[in-house]
Amino acid sequence: MWCERSVENALRRSLVVIALAAHAKPRKMGRRVEESQAYKEAAQALEQSRRLPELIVVDLDYTVWPFWCEMYDEDDQPRLFPEVNAILQACRDKHIPLAVASRTPTPSVATAFLRKLGIDSWFDSTQLIPYTQKDTTHFPRIQKDMGTSFGAMIFFDDESGNIARVSRLGVTSILVSTATGLNTDAFRRGLRQFNS
């Protein structure tokens, strides 16, 4: 009898623990640690650079966020690739200006998403142009807005055709993976190429 009650009580306690665990809020520490590590790596890469760029330019779709914004509505909630926020913040902390160069059929959605993510004010120049224009039209506008020579810029994009065209202007252009977007590996590669 005593043995049966002990087993029964142990089972009840186990069920209570399982029930409490099932209703507990998930911990978000992993994301915060990942972002903190990305910031440290980006800041370290900037510190170790012999020469810093005068401007960092980013594409949006599959570079900053993991989707084409034209597939969404302005009311949707966007998200960034995991390391983007930390990298952009590290650049801001080093007083390196930021710009957006992106072709999109839905500039209002892209603008709304930048605002919702709280990073719209981080960019000193935002060039959202229709698909009908060539990618290189962004850069003369950015150059005019910022007064920065092409050779003093680094551009990150997920499309190899854009990278080839913008490289011909003299901009250090780095292809990013559509799986990760702008991450610390691509960022370091950009700084290395810029300094070579």
Cβ neighbour number for residue 72 with a 10 Å cutoff: 17
Q: Alpha-carbon distance 90 to 144, whole Å?
A: 25
d(CA 158, CA 156): 7
- Show Cβ contacts of residue 144 under 8 Å, excluding neighbours closer than 6 positions: none
What is the distance between the alpha carbons of residues 44 and 32, in angstroms, rounded to a whole number? 18
Per 3-state DSSP, what percentage of the chain is helix, strand, and coil (rounded to 5)?
A: 55, 15, 30
Q: Which of 59, 135, 157, 158 is catalytic?
A: 59
Alpha-carbon distance of 167 to 23, in angstroms, equals 52
158 catalytic, yes or no?
A: no
Classify residue 116 by burial, with Cβ atoms within 10 Å: 0-12, 13-18, 19+.
middle
Which of the residues are catalytic? 59, 61
